[in-house]
């Protein structure tokens, strides 16, 4: 049984611009978050009950990529508040028993960061080698064929000094040269600065991209295993521009640094499609990332067999002792209420999804507003802010970043000014005030689930065993701390008969009408998710019974 807090915690991602605006300029800020802390966790089941907050970048930034282009690593952008506000937020969150982690963006800086300004000043500049500069190819073009994640070449020519610089994202986000020890030392200073202020850890942006091939070799063309080339980024295999072996040395050093500061953690964004590659970032001796994001649910359609497969992959591939993570929504992808939209059954799928997310073996990450069933907003072309959306409207990330709807007052209680992005279309009904006192609301369901989870040792510490189950369902046992649970999820809109290893007490169901006890033979209602707790320890552990489960399909 591990007592690392981040293994038992439920994290809540706050897209800071969109959570709550206290200053009235239409952009969310730290003061706004402080005002809403009681909503997140006031120590009672009246509140949501999350354990840790991840704040998207709050550093000064010219906002070409909305904070993921940092111009000063040890300050707070005045748009969001001040260092004093952050201190207050940390104190207020800690007082309520919540941890706070900050977003660290080490792969690239803003082109306006003093380091880059100095680096681009001259080929002989002291900081020239802090970034990746190269001469043009023989034909005058970029040094190699690498493509930016946001489209177009990953190189921009700097006429003043006659060389190209590398940028994995926008030209306004030059990549730092992580083979330069001075860069490693400078970022370590930034980490220590925030740790000394009392932050509980970091979400580390695109950590797998820090190191590139030393010889900057061309990426090879794609093969049939690669995803459809939706954008030019997928028109090549990313063999040399990320996921290089030397990145693990940097991560190990950060892990040692965090460990020296006690109870701190980091969760790395390892945005790789192959789960085995993601798993590798925990390190062979569990000495690298304490947590790595596993985004696989974000690209899984509403299908029980596919979710089961994603979970089995994690169970198979994650090194022993390493803690998995699960994510349904984030600031980079369409919201799952939209992806799994079912106009006939309302938020039934969102409930099943929540039950799954919060009972798997791993640390769950919620995204602000998912507890309300918030859907993607409609962004008129003239209001597109996201640089990806400007280049590829169908892939824009603004729809998932609309302001949190707090109530039905003007601007949804988000701001007294004009919000930086339009409110989601159904904000008058999908908002906190409308759901808070309604025991049947999705918000109330999340609250029940989150507060129940804190009391369930099998979920917090236990093993997971996938059970045989009829087509369209996903059923697993969680066992630990003297507790035995079965979670049964029906992904279909029809009833499904199941044979569980035993009957028991219904700890939670997405169906209000479900009785408090159930037998081993039971029928899941359409779109029902259910947690059953063994009434008394069965003669054999439930997972041993898996082989004998012979549920029939109706």
Q: Which residues are tagged catalytic?
A: 205, 269
Shortest distance, CB of residue 379 to ligand GLC, whole angstroms?
16
Q: What phi and psi values does residue 108 have, to the nearest 5 degrees?
A: -145, 160
Q: Is 450 left (phi over 0), alpha (psi -120 to 50) or beta?
A: alpha
Nearer to ligand GLC, 168 or 490 (CB): 168
Strand ranges in 220-311 using DSSP code E only, listed in sequence order: 265-268, 291-292
Enter the tokens of residue 541: 């552990």
Pairing relation of β-strands 483-490 and 529-534? antiparallel
Q: Which of 12, 39, 68, 165 binds ligand GLC (CB under 6 A)?
A: 68
CB 467 within 8 A of CB 486: yes
Q: Give the orientation angle of helix 83-95 with respect to helix 181-197, to 10 degrees.
A: 60
What's the min distance (Å) between Cβ of 400 and ligand GLC? Answer: 10
CA–CA gap between residue 153 and residue 145 (Å, rounded): 7
Of residues 459-518, which lie at the interface with ligand GLC (CB under 6 A)? Answer: none
50 vs 272, beta carbon nearer ligand GLC: 272
Is 19 an interacting residue with respect to ligand GLC (CB under 6 A)? no
Footprint (CB under 6 A) of ligand GLC, residues 48-67: 65
Residue 252 tokens read as 């190990």
Binding mask 267-296 for ligand GLC (x = CB under 6 A): --x-x-------------------------
Closer Cβ to ligand GLC, 165 or 169, answer by number: 169
Count of residues near ligand GLC by CB under 6 A: 10
Q: In whole angstroms, how close is the CB of 372 to ligand GLC at the nearest point?
A: 22
The residues, ordered by sequence, that sit 6+ positions from 547 with a Cβ below 8 Å of its Cβ are: 468
Q: Name which of 54 and 542 has its Cβ closer to ligand GLC.
A: 54
In angstroms, the CA 123 to CA 193 distance is: 31
324: left (phi over 0), alpha (psi -120 to 50) or beta: beta
Task: Tell me the DSSP string of 234-288.
Answer: GGS--SSSS--TTHHHHHHHHHHHHHHTSS-EEEE----S-HHHHHGGG-TTS-S
With contact defined as beta carbons under 8 Å apart, do 524 and 467 qualify? Answer: no
Rounded least distance, CB 79 to ligand GLC, Å? 17
Q: In the window 195-214, what residues touch ligand GLC (CB under 6 A)?
A: 205-206
By Cβ distance, which residue is nearest to ligand GLC? Answer: 68
- Cβ closest to ligand GLC, residue 178 vs residue 427: 178
Q: Assess contact for 500 and 486: CB atoms under 8 A.
A: yes
Residues 203-262 that bind ligand GLC (CB under 6 A): 205-206
Nearer to ligand GLC, 206 or 524 (CB): 206
What value, to the nearest 5°, has the Cα angle with vertex 521 and ends 519 and 524? 95
Whose Cβ is closer to ligand GLC: residue 205's or residue 528's? 205
At closest approach, how far in Å is the CB of 274 from ligand GLC?
17
What's the rounded Cα separation, in Å, for the pair 140 and 135?
A: 9
Residue 340 CB, nearest approach to ligand GLC (Å):
22
**Strand pairing class (163-166; 133-134):** antiparallel
Nearest to 148 by CA among 120, 129, 173: 173
Judge whether 285 and 320 are in contact, CB under 8 Å: no
Residue 13 in tokens: 């991602």
Mark 148-177 with x for binding to ligand GLC (rule: CB under 6 A) and - for no binding.
Answer: ---------------------x--------
By CB under 6 A, residue 105 contacts ligand GLC: yes
Encoded one letter per residue, x for contact with ligand GLC by CB under 6 A and - for no contact, window 316-355 reads: ---------------xx-----------------------
C-alpha–C-alpha distance, residues 304 and 311, integer Å:
11
Does 427 engage in binding with ligand GLC (CB under 6 A)?
Answer: no
Closest CA to 22 of 87, 80, 100: 80
Q: How far is the CB of 53 from ligand GLC (least distance, A)?
A: 16
Say if residues 481 and 462 touch (Cβ distance below 8 Å).
Answer: yes
Q: Whole-number minimum distance, CB 67 to ligand GLC, in Å?
A: 9
> In terms of CB distance, is 230 or 554 closer to ligand GLC?
230
Q: CA end-to-end span of the chain, whole Å? A: 40
The set of residues, in sequence order, having a beta carbon less than 8 Å from that of 349 and lying 6+ positions away, is 302, 340, 342, 491, 527
Judged by beta carbon, residue 67 or residue 362, the one nearer ligand GLC is 67
| Least distance CB 172 / ligand GLC (angstroms) | 11
Residues forming contacts to ligand GLC in the complex (CB under 6 A) are 65, 68, 105, 169, 205-206, 269, 271, 331-332
């Amino acid at each position: 049984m591990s007592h690392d807090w981040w293994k038992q915690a439920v994290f809540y991602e706050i897209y800071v611009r969109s959570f709550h605006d206290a200053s009235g300029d239409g952009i969310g800020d730290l003061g706004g978050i402080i005002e809403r802390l009681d909503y997140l966790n006031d120590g009672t089941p009246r509140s949501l009950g999350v354990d840790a907050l991840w704040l998207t970048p709050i550093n000064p930034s010219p906002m070409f990529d909305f904070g993921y282009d940092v111009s000063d690593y040890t300050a707070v952008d005045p748009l969001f508040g001040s260092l004093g506000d952050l201190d207050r937020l940390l104190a207020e969150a800690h007082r309520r028993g919540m941890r706070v982690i900050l977003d660290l963006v080490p792969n690239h800086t803003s082109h306006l960061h003093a380091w880059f300004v100095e680096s681009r000043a001259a080929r002989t500049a002291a900081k020239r080698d802090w970034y990746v500069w190269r001469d043009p190819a023989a034909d005058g073009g970029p040094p190699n064929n690498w493509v930016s994640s946001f489209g177009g070449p990953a190189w921009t020519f700097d006429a003043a000094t006659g060389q190209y610089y590398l940028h994995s994202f926008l030209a306004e986000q030059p990549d730092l040269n992580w083979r330069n020890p001075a860069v490693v030392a400078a970022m370590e200073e930034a980490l220590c600065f925030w740790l000394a202020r009392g932050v509980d850890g970091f979400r580390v942006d695109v950590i797998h991209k820090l190191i590139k091939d030393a010889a900057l070799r061309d990426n090879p063309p794609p093969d049939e295993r690669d995803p459809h080339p939706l954008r030019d980024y997928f028109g090549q295999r990313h063999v040399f521009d990320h996921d290089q072996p030397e990145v693990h040395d940097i991560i190990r050093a950060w892990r040692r640094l965090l460990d020296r500061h006690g109870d701190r953690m980091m969760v790395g964004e390892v945005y790789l499609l192959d789960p085995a590659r993601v798993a590798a970032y925990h390190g062979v001796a569990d000495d690298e990332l304490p947590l790595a994001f596993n985004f696989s649910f974000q690209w899984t359609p509403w299908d029980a067999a596919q979710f089961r497969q994603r979970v089995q992959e994690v169970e198979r591939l994650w090194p022993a002792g390493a803690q998995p993570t699960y994510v349904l929504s984030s600031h980079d992808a369409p919201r799952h209420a939209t992806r799994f939209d079912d106009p006939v059954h309302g938020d039934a799928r969102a409930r099943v999804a929540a039950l799954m997310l919060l009972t798997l073996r791993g640390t769950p990450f919620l995204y602000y507003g998912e507890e309300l069933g918030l859907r993607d907003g409609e962004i008129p072309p003239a209001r597109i802010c996201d640089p990806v959306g400007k280049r590829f409207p169908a892939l824009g990330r603004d729809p998932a970043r609309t302001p949190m709807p707090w109530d039905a007052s003007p601007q949804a209680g988000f701001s007294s000014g004009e919000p930086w992005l339009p409110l989601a279309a159904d904000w008058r009904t999908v908002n906190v005030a409308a759901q808070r006192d309604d025991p049947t609301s999705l918000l109330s369901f999340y609250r029940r689930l989150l507060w129940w989870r804190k009391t369930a040792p099998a979920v917090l510490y236990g093993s997971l065993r996938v059970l045989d189950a009829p087509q369209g369902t996903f059923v697993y046992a969680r066992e630990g701390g003297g507790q035995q649970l079965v979670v049964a999820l029906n992904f279909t809109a029809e009833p499904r008969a199941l044979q569980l290893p035993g009957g028991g007490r219904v700890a939670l169901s997405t169906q209000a009408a479900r009785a408090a006890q159930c037998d081993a033979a039971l029928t899941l209602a359409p779109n029902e998710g259910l947690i059953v707790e063994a009434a008394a320890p069965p003669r054999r552990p439930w997972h041993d019974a898996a082989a004998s489960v012979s549920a029939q399909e109706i």
